[in-house]
Amino acid sequence: MSELKNAYINELYKISKKKKPAVAVILSTVAVAVAAISVYGINNLAGIRITGSSELSLLILSVLNYTLIPLFAAFVSIDMISGEFADNTIKTTLTTPATRFDVYLSKAFAAGTFILANLMYIMLISLIASYAVSGVVPDILSVFTAYFVSVLPVFVFSLAVMLIGNIAKGTTSSFMLSVLMFLLLLGVGLAYPMAKSFLFTSAFDWYRLFLGSFINYGKILRVFLMLAGYAIMLFGAGFYFFEKRDV
């Protein structure tokens, strides 16, 4: 267990030394600011009220869940797999007492931690923006619930990216294949609505199931089990190729 903990801390340290977390903070802040200014302009200048205090945070989440948030998750996941194999730093990582399973599990945990931190940061600044736009305190519990449960589908996506990173030859090909996979799954969901419920990308807005006066716990459980199944399969497949890969 200590080897896993040390490997996890090491992965977090390596992520903190990259420029991508700083870029994620900057772009997330800019995106929220643009959304808040746009909503303020429409609400007050055009005389059309398109969103309330809590709705702005949820509106921002609904947009970023399909754009910047998975993009940042993909960058970090690619760096941890393809990036380390490309610059041969993976050799140093594998010389530690931690097993390959511990190393790969720590990378998955680190990716999940980054996704959680990114979502919590966006939630915080979106709440501030919501209050600044409306002057009303948002429903913090509902907003927190929406952002917190959004971690799981994005984490599943990051596991898919890690799998691609173990198969692809470099960082560029890993990124292009990850984007292609993401767009392909979204396209399949739009073209074949019957298949949408079986795709993990369809769960990027599952936070809506937790909001409102009526909560369908049965549907929430079904979506959770689907995401858990994807997570187990993608992690298992990713680790298989990670273990077989030469360094």
Express each pLDDT in 159-178 by its tens digit.
999 999 999 888 899 999 99
Cβ atoms within 10 Å of 24's Cβ, excluding its own: 22
Residues 201-226: pLDDT tens digits? 999 999 999 988 888 999 999 999 99
Percentage of the chain lying above the pLDDT 90 cut: 62
- pLDDT bracket for residue 41 (50, 70, 90): confident
Q: If you ran DSSP here, which 8-state letter would residue 246 be given? A: -
The encoded tokens of residue 109 equal 């945990």
Cβ atoms within 10 Å of 95's Cβ, excluding its own: 9
DSSP-based helix, strand, coil % in the chain, nearest 5 = 80, 0, 20
pLDDT in the model for residue 125: 95
Is the confidence at residue 54, as pLDDT, over 80? no
- Tell me the DSSP string of 166-221: HHSSSHHHHHHHHHHHHHHHHHHHHH-HHHHTTSGGGGGGGGGGGSSS---HHHHH
Is the confidence at residue 47, as pLDDT, over 70? no
pLDDT in the model for residue 230: 96
Residue bearing the bigger pLDDT, 45 or 92: 92
The encoded tokens of residue 66 equal 């399909």
Q: How far from chain centre, in Å, is Cα 165?
A: 16
∠ Cα 63 232 106 (to 5°): 85
The encoded tokens of residue 188 equal 């399949």
Residues 95-152: pLDDT tens digits? 888 899 999 999 999 999 999 999 999 999 999 988 888 777 788 999 999 999 999 9
How far apart, in whole angstroms, are the C-alpha atoms of residue 76 and residue 74? 6
pLDDT in the model for residue 55: 81
Task: Give which of 120, 104, 96 is closest to 165, Cα–Cα.
Answer: 104
Provide the terminal-to-terminal Cα distance of the chain, rounded to the nearest Å. Answer: 25
Domain ranges of the chain: 2-18+55-120+137-244
pTM value?
Answer: 0.92
Is the confidence at residue 32, as pLDDT, over 60? yes
21-47 average pLDDT score? 82
